[in-house]
């Protein structure tokens, strides 16, 4: 019979106090995102062992691991998680449900009447106004290139 595969390498010993301290240095004053997700969460400190705490999403969004393998990454981007924003008492409206991490340059000269019609059809609205944004949907412009 083969040896079982250990969940944690036997040769790697992690000092809990040092690990918790390093996590506090990384995440204090920061927000976080989980893995490759673009959703940015507020940070809360969860009880771990011996009174030590580790960072986690304030909304308690689940993830796998302790954060030691890079599952949680610090960021200075604004919180875009709707639940985290509600918990912090930040105002919400329909445009803030997904904050833009960066703006795409869109030139009105590049819009032809066909692009505008495609944008209206893509939005599902007869007027072409899916939200209060005045810029066309960037995915329509990208698809037509």
State how far the Cα of 145 lies from the Cα of 137, in Å rounded to an integer: 14
CA dist 88 → 44, 91, 138 (Å): 11, 9, 30
| 78-112: pLDDT as tens digits | 998 989 999 999 877 555 555 556 677 776 555 44
Residues paired with 32 in a beta bridge: 41, 74
Domain assignments of the chain as residue spans, ordered by start: 16-96, 108-143
Cβ burial 31-51 (10 Å sphere, 16+ → b, else e): bbbbeeeebbbbbbbeeeeee
Residues in the chain: 145
- Could you give the count of Cα atoms lying within 13 Å of 59 in the half-sphere of its Cβ? 20
Lookup result for tokens 């005045």: 134
> What does the pLDDT profile of the chain (145 residues) look like in tens digits?
677 665 555 566 778 999 999 999 999 999 999 998 989 999 999 999 999 999 999 999 998 876 777 889 999 999 989 899 999 998 775 555 555 566 777 765 554 444 444 444 444 444 444 444 444 444 444 444 3
**Distance between terminal CA atoms of the chain?**
58
Pick left, alpha or beta for residue 70 (phi over 0 → left; psi -120 to 50 → alpha; otherwise beta): left
Stated pTM of the model? 0.57
């Amino acid at each position: 019979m083969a040896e079982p595969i250990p969940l944690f390498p036997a040769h790697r010993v992690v000092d809990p106090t040092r690990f918790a301290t390093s996590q506090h240095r990384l995440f204090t004053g920061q927000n976080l995102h989980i893995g490759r997700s673009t959703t940015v969460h507020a940070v809360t400190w969860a009880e771990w062992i011996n009174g030590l705490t580790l960072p986690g999403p304030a909304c308690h969004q689940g993830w796998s691991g302790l954060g030691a393998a890079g599952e949680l990454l610090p960021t200075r981007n604004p919180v875009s998680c709707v639940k985290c924003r509600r918990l912090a008492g930040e105002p919400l409206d329909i445009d803030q449900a997904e904050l833009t991490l960066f703006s795409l340059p869109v030139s009105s000269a590049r819009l032809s009447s066909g692009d505008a019609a495609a944008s209206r059809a893509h939005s599902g609205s007869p007027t072409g106004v899916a939200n209060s944004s005045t810029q066309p949907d960037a995915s329509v412009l990208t698809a037509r290139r």
